[in-house]
Amino acid sequence: MKNQMTLIALLCLPLVLVACGGGGGGGDAAAPVVPTSSSGTTTVSPASNDFTGSVTKLLDTNDLRGGMFSKGLSLVANASDLVQTVNGAVTKFSVNSLAGSYGVQEMHGDQWYAVGRWNKGTATVGFTKNITLADANAAHYLIYHPATSSYGTTLAGAKLSCADMHTTKPSTDSTITSATISNATLAVKADGTVDAVFTITADSSSGKVARQFAGSAVWANSAYTAVNLGLDGGSADTKNGSLIVGAHAANQIMVGGTYSLGGHPAVYSLVCKVTS
């Protein structure tokens, strides 16, 4: 299909690129038991234009995983040593850190997850240190609580509405000025497979560009793992995204990950809830 790219799941790439851990068995997939060490903490508005977006609550720091995505890097690991400022910006987790006079754009999330884009400051991203950040080489994060049991037991066949959709701006200078996400649909099968489809529309120097992404993640061996998908006849370079399944409140599900427009990475998140 014209103007269509395929989002594939990269949850369990080889070690170093992505470190995947098991989710553990048991629990209620729609409403896992998570301590509320910080989930009741509300946030304040960012102090300057170096920060855009907002989160409704700070992350609950129990059992978090985090993904860091930039050009040439797709790293997912336990989000240990997490630092989140009072305005909701995540500035450190695992081996990733942000320092100096920094900026975090398009922040979004709540106690269950957080996304944002590091576009200013000096960063360690993965195992590469002292990166001077700018829009062209921004680093994007997704922090989340992994689903600890199959959503097939609670949400299979349910009608889901994805009203909370968010994306960061892809890493580029002026080629892409903004991006939005729309037309998201999510379905859960009886075996726990989560299928997602959505459209990314970007404003660029040459006009609007729209691409449709689709991906799946399956429940296997007590964790959500990836199924690589692609369009019939699609080239290998279209298979460059990820679909990560996270926990959220009762009768809700969070999925997110990374996608790429013209080689420029970004992250997205969808929170979908049962409507019938």
Q: What is the reported pLDDT for 214? A: 85
Higher-pLDDT residue of 7 and 203 is 203
Say if residue 95's pLDDT is above 70: yes
CB 54 within 8 A of CB 26: no
Contacts 24+ apart (CB under 8 A), 231-236: 231/1, 231/4, 231/5, 231/6, 234/5, 234/6
The overall average pLDDT reported for the chain is: 81
The pLDDT of residue 27 is above 70:
no
E strand segments, 110-262: 113-125, 128-133, 139-144, 160-167, 176-188, 194-204, 207-220, 223-227, 244-246, 252-261
